[in-house]
Amino acid sequence: MARRLATALTSTDPRVAAGRSPSPWWQTAVVYQVYLRSFADSNGDGIGDLAGLRSRLPYLAWLGVDALWINPHYPSGGADGGYDIVDYRAVDPDYGDVADLEGLVKDARRLGLRVVLDVVPNHTSDRHPWFSAAVADPDSPEAARYHFAPPSEEPPNNWQSLFGGPAWSRTADGRWYLHLFSPEQPDLNWREPAVAADFERTLRFWLDRGVSGFRVDVAYGLFKDAALRDNPGSYAPTLFGHGPEQAMTWNQPEVHDVWRRWRAVCDEYPDTMLVGEVCLADLEQVALYSRPDEMHQSLSFRLLKSPWATEPFAEAVQSALDAFGGVGAPVSWVLGNHDKERQVTRFGGGAVGTARARAAALLMLALPGSAYVYAGDELGLPQAAVPDEAKLDPIFFRSGGARVGRDGCRVPMPWNDSDGVGFSPEGAAPAWLPIPADWQQYAVSRQTRDGGSTLTLYRRALALRAAHPALAAGDATVSTRGDVLTVRCVGESETVRCLVNMGAETVLVGCSGSVLLTSTVSVRHSAGSVALPPNSAVWVVED
C-alpha cells in the first residue's frame, strides 16, 4: 500500500525519475467498502457513525487497503438504507456533521488512505425539498425536475419498480410520479438543466473537502425514454443486469454526456475518480461508461453473481478483461457488497463456504485492476439471519416477504469478544440491526491473534499484492483444466500464477516456483507440483 500511494502522491517515484509516469492510484487500488451504519458506533446510539469510523481508520491502514468508499452519509428519509437523500450537501445527524467528514478525510490521508463517497443522482428522497415543492404545486419549477403524469385510472406505462410492484405511485391530488425503486425514491428528470447543475455543485462541495472521488449509484439510469414508452418485457432478476427487455428505463444514450461533464469536474481535482454502478447484462455496454472521457471505472459484478464452478468464473474474468480492455479501462472487481448475500453463504455456507470465499479472495486480489472489498468479508462473515420483525429493507416489504431482502449482509461488524462485540461502547442502545449471538467468533480481535484466520489471509494477500506488481498490475491470461482455474499474471519482472481448485477432490497441478500464499494450510507443495485440496487457492511465483 505504502508503495503505491507514494507513487501517486509524490514525484520522487523512481518511475518518474526514469521518465515514466506512475499509474493513477485507482487503477490497482484495493477499495474497502464501509457500510457506515454498521461499521463502528462512537456514541452508543446503536448506529455506526463517522467518529466511529474515524477511530477505526488505523485498522484499515493495518489491513492494507488503499481507499475506503462510504455508503451514503447524507440526511435521508431512511426508506432504503440512505439511498433516499434529503440533502446532498450535508451529513445525516445519525452519522455526525460535515466537520466530522473533513476530519475523517484528514486522518485518512495521514494514514495513506483515500476517501470515496457515494452519490445518488437517479432519485432523491420524497422528503427532499424539491419533491415537497413539486407535490405542493404541479406548476412549480421543482415539479419539472421529476416525472409527473396527470391523474388517470392506469399508470402512464408498464414500468416496474426494481423493489417490486409498479414504478408509479400517486400523490394526494391523484398525479402519478415515477420511482424505479421505492415510492420514497422519486426519479429525477435529467432533461431538466437545474438537476445537472445542482449535482455539479454537490460534487464540488465534497471535492473541495478533500474526498478522492465518488461511487456513482445507478449510473446506467438518470435518463429515461423521452416518450416514456412501455418496456418490451419485464426484468428477470436472474440476469446479470438489465437487457433489451428494459430498454426504455435504462441505458439511454444521453446519460453518457453526464459522465463526460462529471469527468471534467473531477479533472479539476488531481487524483480523483468516479466509479459507476452499471447493472447492464451486456458488458460491452457497461464498459462504455468507462471510456477515457467518462467515469474512470465501472464496478464489475460478474464474480459476485457467478456460481462456484470453473467455467462461470473463467467466463466472468475473461469477459470483464475483454470488455474493459476494449475501452482501455482497468476492471474493478467485486466479490461482495451491501446488496448481495455474503460470499461465505453464497458459496455454500459453513466450512465449505468459508474455504471457497477465501479462495475467491485470492483470485480477485490477483487479477489486474482494482478490487472492492466489502466490510466484513475480510472476517469471513456469513449472511446473518435477521428476524422478519427486525428487517428494514424495502425489497422485503415490497415483495410481501417473498424476497428475503438485503438486511443479512448489513449487520454490524464484530470487533471484540465482549457481549456487544465492540460495535458500540459498553451500555449502549441495541444495535440498529440485531447482531447474531455467536458473532464473537468472527471478531477482529480474535482473528488478529489467529495466524490461520480469514483476516490474516486478507492482510497477507494485500501486503503481497502491494509488493508484487504482477498481481493487480500484470497482464492476465485465464484458463481452466478440469476443476482448476488458472490465472497467469505476467508482470515486468516476474510471473505469478493463481491456481484455484473449485472441485471436491484434491488436484495435483504441475507448477514449479515458490509459493507466495495459500488460502488454506493444507496446500502441499513440492518441486514441480502443488497439491491443491478442494476449494483452495494458491499464489505461485514462477521460476
Tracing cell 457506515 back to the chain, one arrives at: 36
3-state secondary structure 319-366: HHHHHHHCCCCCCEEECCCCCCCCHHHHCCCHHHHHHHHHHHHHHHHH
Give catalytic status of residue 217 as yes or no.
yes
> Exactly one of 217, 378, 393, 407 is catalytic; which is it?
217
CB of 54 to Ca ion, least distance (A): 12
> By CB under 6 A, how many residues form the interface with ligand GLC?
10
CB of 370 to ligand GLC, least distance (A): 18
Residue span 12-51 as binding mask against Ca ion, x where in contact by CB under 5 A, dash where not: -----------------------------x-x-x-x-x--
Residue span 253-282 as binding mask against ligand GLC, x where in contact by CB under 6 A, dash where not: ------------------------x-----
Judged by CB under 6 A, does residue 181 bind ligand GLC?
A: yes
Give the range of 55-63, 80-88, 444-452, 464-472 binding ligand GLC by CB under 6 A.
Answer: 80-88
**What's the rounded Cα separation, in Å, for the pair 380 and 541?**
26
CB of 406 to ligand GLC, least distance (A): 7
Give catalytic status of residue 268 as yes or no.
yes
Binding-site partner at residue 339 among ligand GLC, Ca ion, none, CB < 5 to 8 Å by type: ligand GLC
- Per-residue burial over 158-191, b if 16 or more Cβ lie within 10 Å, else e, is bbbbbbbebbbbebeeebbbbbbbbbbbbbbbbe
CB of 277 to ligand GLC, least distance (A): 6
Select 59 or 181, whichever has its Cβ closest to ligand GLC.
181
CB of 220 to ligand GLC, least distance (A): 10
Q: Which residues contact 480 (CB under 8 A, 6 or more apart)?
A: 310, 311, 314, 486
Tracing cell 428475503 back to the chain, one arrives at: 404
CA dihedral 389, 393, 396, 399 (to 10 degrees): 140
**What's the rounded Cα separation, in Å, for the pair 442 and 381?**
7
Binding-site partner at residue 47 among ligand GLC, Ca ion, none, CB < 5 to 8 Å by type: Ca ion
**What's the rounded Cα separation, in Å, for the pair 368 and 177?**
43
Find out whether 200 and 214 touch, Cβ atoms under 8 Å.
Answer: no
Judged by CB under 5 A, does residue 217 bind Ca ion?
A: no
Select 41 or 378, whichever has its Cβ closest to Ca ion.
41
Binding-site partner at residue 120 among ligand GLC, Ca ion, none, CB < 5 to 8 Å by type: ligand GLC
Judged by CB under 6 A, does residue 80 bind ligand GLC?
A: yes
| Residue among 252, 129, 262 nearest 191 (CA) | 252
Binding-site partner at residue 218 among ligand GLC, Ca ion, none, CB < 5 to 8 Å by type: ligand GLC
Say if residue 528 is exposed, middle or buried (CB neighbours under 10 Å; 0-12, 13-18, 19+).
exposed
Q: Give residues in contact with Ca ion (CB under 5 A).
A: 41, 43, 45, 47, 49
